[in-house]
Amino acid sequence: MKTIEMTELTSLKDLVALAREEAGLVITEGHKPVAKIVPFSGPPTEAPAAPRRPRLGLHPGAWVVSDDFDKPLPDDFWLGKE
């Protein structure tokens, strides 16, 4: 991996080409590393994987909906007395 001082920087195209040749590039400012450019290692044409959707029915009986699920709550609940 090659090191290059910030004052020696040219165009981005040249930096990317140099990073490919040297398997990476460290950019320094005052001899302190400030950035690293590394070549991309994955296949460039691969699209990101689609998010997985949950599959229903994998754990039957894991939870049960009570019979009064849709019954209105009492007024005491809404008034903070319950």
The reply to whether 30 falls in a domain is: yes
pLDDT tier for residue 19 given thresholds of 50, 70 and 90: confident
Write the pLDDT tens digit of every residue in 62-74.
888 889 999 998 8
- Whether residue 7 is contained in a domain is answered as yes
Range of the domain at 8: 2-37
Give a yes or no: residue 58 inside a domain.
Answer: no
Domain count, the chain: 1
Quote the pTM value: 0.47
Q: Distance between CA 29 and CA 74 in Å, rounded? A: 68
Place of tokens 């690293």: 36
DSSP 21-82: HHT-EEEEETTEEEEEE----S-TTPPPPPPPPPPTTSSTTSS---TTTTSPPPHHHHHT--
- 9/19: higher pLDDT: 19
Contact 15, 35 (CB under 8 A): no
Tell me if 42 is assigned to some domain: no
User: Is residue 51 domain-resident?
Assistant: no
Task: Give a yes or no: residue 23 inside a domain.
Answer: yes
Q: Is 54 exposed, middle or buried (0-12, 13-18, 19+ CB in 10 A)?
A: exposed
pLDDT in tens, 44-64: 666 778 888 888 778 887 888
pLDDT above 70 covers what percent of the chain?
Answer: 93
Q: What is the pLDDT of residue 44?
A: 64
Decide if 67 is inside a domain.
no
